[in-house]
Amino acid sequence: MPTADPTSSARIKGTVLISRLNMVRQHGGPARLEEVLRRLPPADQAVLRKMILPINWYPLELNLRLDDAIADVLSPDDRTRAFVDMGRASADENLRGAQHVFVRQGEPHFLLSQAPQIYRFYYAVGSRTYERSGPKSAILRTFGAERVSDADCLTIVGWHQRAIELSGGRAVRVIHPKCVAWGASHCEYHCQWE
């Protein structure tokens, strides 16, 4: 599990934590959620057992540890799938809720063009850009993120897959060819759909 950096300013909005906890509840109820929470340090458990406010900022490290625990419990044999599913669940919950204004049926480019603003809903550090690369394709790039991991990038892949589907895209593919975690200068996501 990642260890906390007390000097890190990397933060994430409560909406992400809420969607993760709701996903676990949907996949096994309170008992499954308790199983996930027990895998976390006591300080993390204390935060997650209280009311999580969607607009509050929380340490990104807390989210990364929670994601690891969820993957361990829900999908120990296919952690990649677990992280993608977490991102999909987050998009489902948030884009059908408070962030529904970003979804226009039949217009995935509208949602993707809002990537810089949407990024700010989730992360306190870094930025994301949008480039239209074709009628049914786009490239998103993330710069300056403080704490990048394979797992977090997989949740971003899942989030954008589901977001494009909610916008009417079919046969969605999101490829992640460049990653800061692999030594690249930025993370890159190539999105395509029919």
Cα–Cα distance between 165 and 8 in angstroms, integer? 34
Cα–Cα distance between 182 and 194 in angstroms, integer? 30
Backbone φ and ψ for 55, nearest 5 degrees, come out as -90, -5
> What CA–CA distances, in Å, run from 130 to 45, 81, 90, 125?
36, 25, 20, 17
pLDDT over threshold 90, residue 35 = yes
> What CA–CA distances, in Å, run from 41 to 2, 44, 60, 84?
12, 5, 15, 24
Residues 74 and 128 in one domain: no
Give residue 106's domain range.
100-192
Number of domains, the chain:
2
Establish if 121 belongs to a structural domain: yes
Mean pLDDT of 75-100: 94
**pLDDT band for position 121 (cuts 50, 70, 90):** confident
**pLDDT given at position 122:** 86
**pLDDT given at position 9:** 67
Tens-place pLDDT, residues 161-174: 999 999 999 999 99
Establish if 170 belongs to a structural domain: yes
For the chain, the maximum distance between any two Cα atoms, rounded to a whole number of angstroms, is 49
Mean pLDDT of 127-154: 95
